[in-house]
A and B are shown apart, each in its own frame.
Chain A
Amino acid sequence: MQVTVEIWRYDPVTEESHFDSFVREADPTERVLDVMLAIKDEDDGSVAFRKSCAHGVCGSDAMEINGLNRLACQVLIQDLETDLIRIRPLRGMKVLRDLIVDMDPFFEGLKQVQPYFIPAEEAPATEYRQSIDERAAFDDTTKCIMCGACTTSCPSFWSNDAYLGPAAFVKAHRFIFDSRDAGDSVRSCFRPRRLAVAPASSWSLV
């Protein structure tokens, strides 16, 4: 099928931005990333975007595709149900060039939730014991690949510099609900001031 791909361009020297439009043949089962790579290889090598694993586990290619934040390697052309593909950089972050945004503030912000294991007790000779149910309690939040797609789709994040956004909650949840972790009291120090959400015990991720 023929698709029209509109890609946001931003030149940090002139600070000028616009959409460039590319018309290409694409298989409906191709990934959006495949089409972007074909554009880069054959039409315009200067289109700048991040990519790495190309199957949704590294989080490099989060971008706004037809109005939704998603990974370009996880969306097939047919999933979009249109032949017009419009790609923009993630919002709420400084655009450095084309589709590449500054991820440093995102990773810096995460540090406020003390995003690391704080053990409840001294390490045993083998492993800390944890039941299958205890492990299941925080399974969902162990999966986060820190692509930033959720945080940068949140209007509160765009407008409030102090707001850390959902990825930080996910990271905090991953430790707060880990039965082996004892960082709760430490992490709670920042919670009322910074996150302004309900106590951890009432959180549930759907």
Chain B
Amino acid sequence: MQPRTVLGAATVHRFDAIVVGAGGAGLRCALELSEHDYSVAVISKLYPVRSHTGAAQGGVGAALGNEEEDKPEWHFFDTVKGSDYLGDQDAIELMCEEAIAAVYELEHFGLPFSRTPDGKIAQRPFGGHTRNFGEAPVKRAAYAADRTGHMILHTLFDQCVKKEVRFFNEFYVLDLLKDGDACLGVVAYELATGEIHIFQAKATFIGTGGYGRVYSITSNAHASTGDCMAVCLRRGIPLEDMEFVQFHPTGLRRLGILVSEAARGEGGILRNREDLDNIGSGKDGFMAAVAPTVKDLAPRDMVARAIYDEIKAGRGIDGSGDTGSDYVYLDLVHLGEMVINTKLPDISHFSRTYLAVDPIVEPIPVQPTTHYAMGGIPTDTQGRVMRNARNEPVEGLYAAGEVACVSVHGANRLGTNSLVDIVVFGRRAGADMARYLKDAQFGHIGSEPDAFVRSEIDRLKHGGGKERVADIRKAMQSVMMVNSGVFRTEENLTTARDTIAELRQRYRQVGVGDQSDYFNTELVEAVELGFMLDIAGTIAESALNRTESRGAHSREDYPERDDKNWLKHTFISVDEDGQVSFDYKPVTITKFKPKPRVY
């Protein structure tokens, strides 16, 4: 048993290391720590197998070369080019090399990958992944049908069960304990009872994922509310590259539910209203003119823009020109029943269930959906969190996965690289924590470390505020979707920024009707909204600040990439009065000099 004492009304736990978040990054980190003789706890606001890693579909990228020739160096190049040259090349090179061992390791943990006829891990093409520096698409995505994330999440959880890792399920981390530039642990709210817990630790890892719910149309889970990004921001840690938000080209119309890029990897083709006669023919669609070499397998930022361009030109399926409601078709009909049912079973099921569309006989209505945070908590390649743009760490604090920014994804992440990121950098963070713990001591926690959390909960429950969480949340999601989405201008970003500022004022008057201590999900949603508003503000401010177009950040008023002024990472900070400031970090460039990005 761990020492457990009561301090004030909070329960205090002490562990050598704590892992916040039980998705792929957190579980991989915990597994690494379990190899050592340290006390470790994983804290998650969900049960671990509910984590959003489980929703990843298409594959995990690694140059295994199981289906055709491939090299880590090609993967490295593709990722740099995909990032629009904003990714740090030291980190990308390392990730692409370690991806191979990481995927074999997952297989050795029992992950049931799909197989080639000779019994190896099967691989498929994916957007932006090419052979020989851009010649043609390459089969690099190792996959388990279209449930690769589910298999990774469950396999890592199984291994944690085997290693008897300690879990605190449905504990919601609301604050970071800091002493100067060191992290001493976290404050968490126990959903079941409403109790406050202090988790004191020598080393703390954050792997709580992204913030897709800031937008109205998203592939992300309800739980993806940017919690620990906002917690870090409030505790003085800057966030890096927040202007870069990935919109996945193919979300189910209106719902935003992800239709994997694997659908295009297997040969799916996007079609506009002028192309309806070609459904089922396998002939090229509108992407052939946008990216002649890779066509429908161009990177996500380019495909999402191309879809919006089609819609704006009146060539969407309903022809209205409204990017909010119009859509295009994803045509899988020519692939045939066998391929669709065996290689893309889940997305076919989603299409049938939610849209009553059977992709075997008709095309799937799709529109871009908010999908992934390229930016986040700045870290180095050991997963250590940086407290500024000068690479000075927060002692004892680590992060990896979508919540973090290493940066391996730069201005646009390639499909399959998020799953690579979580296993490679989750492991690296765990390994560095184990090294760090050899000499680390528990810090001194001052009196009432939970005062801030208590006062916030008290205000929300008992402050008498009349504003409703749902009203503010809907207004935020809508303004971000319309004004901080695929295409941006100074005007609409200013609208986004100012509206978010107004909503933050209104948030101070939010009142929670539910007074219960037990599973007070209304209170949880109010807290999540507070975090999301902070994140939305950093996205709008960072996007307004970057006066160029690069990767997923597409400014119609600054349509060109501007390497002279903007080949650098943004660090945004917000002080206690809400004042925003920016700092910048140079991009690490080793092998590949920036070039125009054509496919």
Contact = CB atoms under 8 A, between A and B. Distances in A.
Contacts of B516: 11, 13, 46, 97
- Name the residue in B47, B161, B162 with the highest tally of chain A Cβ atoms < 10 Å from its Cβ: B47
A57 B54 contact: yes
Contacts of B115: 130-132, 134-135
Nearest to A38: B470
B353 A52 contact: no
B558 interface: no
Given A55-B354, A142-B151, A48 B521 contact: yes
A134 B120 CA distance: 12
A145 interface: yes
Contact of A128 (B107, B118, B159, B223): B107
Interface residues of A, number: 60
A45 B50 contact: no
Contacts of A117: 109-110, 155, 158-159
A42 B470 CA distance: 8
A198 interface: no
B255 to A, nearest CB: 8
A53 B223 CA distance: 8
A123 interface: yes
A45 B104 contact: no
B346 interface: yes
B27 interface: no
Contacts of A77: none
A48 B121 CA distance: 43
A103 B147 CA distance: 24
A96 B110 contact: no
A180 interface: yes
A59 interface: yes
B108 A59 contact: no
Contacts of B51: 58
Contacts of B120: 126-127, 129
Contact of A74 (B119, B121, B159, B353): B353
Given A53-B54, A128-B108, A145-B49, A46 B522 contact: yes
Max chain A CB contacts within 10 Å: which of B113, B159, B522?
A: B522
Contacts of A52: 46, 50, 52, 221-223
Contact of B519 (A51, A53, A97, A134): A97
A146 interface: yes
A115 B161 contact: yes
B532 interface: no
Interface in A65-118: 74, 76, 96-98, 100, 103-104, 107, 111, 114-117
Number of contact residues on B: which range applies? 35 or more
Interface string A16-49: 0000000000000101000000001110111011
A42 B522 CA distance: 12
B107 A127 contact: yes
A119 interface: yes
Contact of A45 (B46, B64, B107, B522): B522
A159 to B, nearest CB: 25
B50 A60 contact: yes
B313 interface: no
**Residue among A46, A58, A104, A107 with the highest chain B CB neighbour number at 10 A:** A58
Interface string A140-156: 00110110000000000
B353 A58 contact: no
B157 to A, nearest CB: 9
Nearest to A45: B522
Given A142-B144, A142-B151, A58 B108 contact: no
A76 B354 CA distance: 8
A119 B54 contact: no
B322 to A, nearest CB: 20
Contacts, number: 155
Given A45-B512, A57-B55, A135 B49 contact: no
Nearest to B120: A127
Contacts of A111: 161
Provide the main secondary structure of the chain A interface.
loop
A132 B110 contact: no
Given A53-B52, A111-B161, A117-B155, A13 B518 contact: yes
Given A13-B516, A55-B354, A116-B161, A135 B114 contact: yes
A97 to B, nearest CB: 4
B180 interface: no
A49 to B, nearest CB: 7
A145 B513 contact: no
A64 interface: no
Contacts of B50: 52-53, 58-60
B190 to A, nearest CB: 12
A132 B144 CA distance: 12
Contact of B159 (A56, A104, A116, A142): A116
A135 B112 contact: yes
A135 B120 CA distance: 11
A78 to B, nearest CB: 9
Given A56-B353, A131-B115, A45 B469 contact: yes
A100 B54 contact: no
A129 B46 CA distance: 35
B519 A48 contact: yes
A72 B120 CA distance: 38
Contact of B521 (A49, A123, A132): A49
Given A12-B518, A48-B519, A96-B192, A127 B104 contact: yes
Contacts of B257: 54-55
B112 to A, nearest CB: 5
Most buried by B among A74, A97, A100, A116: A116
Interface in B192-240: 192, 221-223
CB-CB nearest 9 A-B residue pairs: A117-B110, A41-B470, A129-B119, A46-B514, A116-B158, A45-B522, A116-B162, A123-B108, A97-B519
Given A59-B50, A127-B108, A132-B116, 4 more contacts: A46-B520, A58-B221, A117-B155, A132-B115
15 contacts: A45-B514, A52-B46, A56-B349, A56-B350, A76-B353, A96-B518, A96-B519, A104-B169, A116-B110, A116-B162, A126-B104, A126-B120, A127-B107, A131-B119, A143-B150
Interface of B: 46-47, 49-52, 54-55, 64, 104, 107-110, 112-121, 144, 147, 150-151, 154-155, 158-159, 161-162, 169, 192, 221-223, 255, 257, 346, 349-350, 353-354, 356, 468-470, 512-514, 516, 518-522, 525
Interface of A: 11-13, 29, 31, 40-42, 44-46, 48-49, 51-60, 74, 76, 96-98, 100, 103-104, 107, 111, 114-117, 119, 123, 125-132, 134-135, 138-139, 142-143, 145-146, 174-175, 178, 180-181
